[in-house]
Amino acid sequence: MSRERTPSGSGTAEDDGGRTRGPDSVPDRGVRTTVPERHRTLICVMTTIEGLGEFALITRVTSQFPRTADVILGPGDDAAVVASPDGRTVASTDLLVEGRHFKREWSTARDVGHRAVAQNYADIMAMGARPTGMLIGFAAPPDLPVVWAEEFTAGARDECALAGGAVVGGDMVGSDVLTIAVTALGDLEGRSPVRRDGAGPGEIVAYTGHLGLSAAGLALLDQGLEGPGECLDEHRRPSPPYTAGPEAARLGATAMLDVSDGLLQDLGHIAASSGVAIDLESEAFSPEPALLEAVRVLGAPEGKALDAARRLMLSGGEDHALAAVFPSEVELPDHWRRVGATRSLPEGARSGDVRVTVDGTVMDGGGWDHFRRG
């Protein structure tokens, strides 16, 4: 935040009454500047959501959310009404728990608002749908500052604008642990949903978006290291390629998903659901300069930086890039990166046993597991 500069000179000035004041004091404009003790407690209480109260907080928060053409009835009634021109609604839900998915000492409230929206609308995008509406459940400790809730709302609002959707309602409740529950809605616009089980042998595997930056950013934060801003930003505020999901559906994608748990692990879901094997080529993965810089900061030897960066691209979680499988004849736009192909299962293999290979070698998928400790 910018601060008002002290006027040049001696660093002191006279107020309207001729009294000398320091550079940081508040000028007396005829208004009492000393807050009585009995009012200080009230001011302090009113800065928390407990002091403000549930309904005042709801009013303050919902007033920040603009409506889109999809919102027939927004916040303020028993339920919202969202248009569904296609006649089918795509829905997804997700939770963010403080200490597990975000830390307030690492991320601002706006960061968390952006992230809550991004990771949920990314799932809508991955079905080939267009984001339309979102419901947010907000469970927070009573002593949470009101400004935190307001800044979270601003971040969610701004990310909705990027995605093209809108917050249409939600719920608030007191809780010992700050928890955010989000349900996202989307419209297929007349297309079939792109599922995980539609891939066949001999097809192209490709991705679009950022891979590895978020995992690098998390590692930097966890170790208290200064590193590339792109990695830190991508962890705090993921940037899903929102328009790429519907684009992939129009191109004829046979399977698709949001890369949230690591590319290897997530492609393993497509392989298992579709009954195919997936072979990736390490040379097809070109790390972004920020990722290469980050792995060096994290201690990778110069000769191993490329391998370390590729490992993060393959196994790092919370990327919210988009991975898809396309028929071999499809001409992919430039922002899609072809990284491998599907093939038939070996004779006698079961789909549940399938693993994704990199250069012909089975690798541990790593990635994110919500029930893994640490």
Domain ranges of the chain: 50-187, 204-362
Q: Is 24 annotated as a binding residue?
A: no
Give dist(CA 229, CA 89) in Å, integer: 37
Q: Would you state the structure tokens that stand for residue 44, as one six-digit string?
A: 């302090």
Q: What is the DSSP string of 165-224?
A: -EEEEEEEEE-SS-EEEEEEEEE-TTPPP--SS---TT-EEEEES--SHHHHHHHHHHHT
Q: Is 143 annotated as a binding residue?
A: no
Q: How many Cα atoms sit within 13 Å of 219 on the Cβ side?
A: 22
Q: Which residue type, as a one-letter code, is found at position 300? A: A
Indicate whether 186 pLDDT > 80: yes
Q: Which residue type, as a one-letter code, is found at position 91? A: A
Q: Is 353 annotated as a binding residue?
A: no
Which CATH fold topology does 50-187 show?
60s Ribosomal Protein L30; Chain: A; (3.30.1330)
Give the predicted TM-score (pTM) of the model. 0.83
Task: Please state which of the four CATH numbers 3.90.650.10, 3.90.600.10, 3.50.50.60, 3.40.50.970 is assigned to the domain occupying 204-362.
Answer: 3.90.650.10
Q: In this predicted model, what pLDDT tens digit does every residue of 220-255 receive, in sequence order?
A: 999 999 999 999 999 999 999 999 999 999 999 999
Of residues 348 and 120, the one with the higher pLDDT is 120
Distances from the Cα of 47 to the Cαs of 50, 104, 147, 148, 250, in angstroms?
8, 18, 7, 10, 49
Q: Is 307 annotated as a binding residue?
A: no
Query: Which pLDDT belongs to residue 120?
Result: 97
Contact 137, 93 (CB under 8 A): no
Q: Is 258 annotated as a binding residue?
A: yes
In this prediction, residue 359 has a pLDDT band, given cuts at 50, 70 and 90, of very high
Contact 290, 230 (CB under 8 A): yes
Q: Is 123 annotated as a binding residue?
A: yes
Q: Would you state the structure tokens that stand for residue 338, as one six-digit string?
A: 């072809």
Q: Is 101 annotated as a binding residue?
A: yes
pLDDT above 90: percentage of residues in the chain:
76
pLDDT above 70: percentage of residues in the chain:
84
Contact 187, 319 (CB under 8 A): no
Query: Which pLDDT belongs to residue 40?
Result: 44
Query: Which pLDDT belongs to residue 365?
Result: 58
Give dist(CA 289, CA 308) in Å, integer: 13
Query: Which pLDDT belongs to residue 59?
Result: 87
Q: Is 273 annotated as a binding residue?
A: no
Q: Is 111 annotated as a binding residue?
A: no
Q: Is 67 annotated as a binding residue?
A: no
Contact 373, 323 (CB under 8 A): no
Contact 307, 359 (CB under 8 A): no
End-to-end CA distance of the chain: 34
Q: Is 196 annotated as a binding residue?
A: yes
Q: How many Cα atoms sit within 13 Å of 268 on the Cβ side?
A: 21
Cα dihedral across residues 74, 78, 83, 84: positive or negative:
positive
Give dist(CA 51, CA 41) in Å, integer: 10
User: Distance from CA of residue 130 to its chain's centroid?
Assistant: 17
Q: In this predicted model, what pLDDT tens digit does every residue of 251-310 receive, in sequence order?
A: 999 999 999 999 999 999 999 999 999 999 999 999 999 999 999 999 999 899 999 999
Q: Is 187 annotated as a binding residue?
A: no
Torsion of CA 349, 351, 353, 354, to 10 degrees: 90
pLDDT (mean) for 180-202: 98
Give dist(CA 172, CA 170) in Å, integer: 7
Q: What is the mean pLDDT of the chain?
A: 87
Q: Is 171 annotated as a binding residue?
A: yes
Q: Is 106 annotated as a binding residue?
A: no
Helix (H) or strand (E) holding 150: helix 146-163
Question: What are the strands of the beta sheet with 337-343, ordered from one edge?
Answer: 255-259, 321-326, 204-208, 337-343, 277-280, 357-358, 361-362
Indicate whether 158 pLDDT > 50: yes
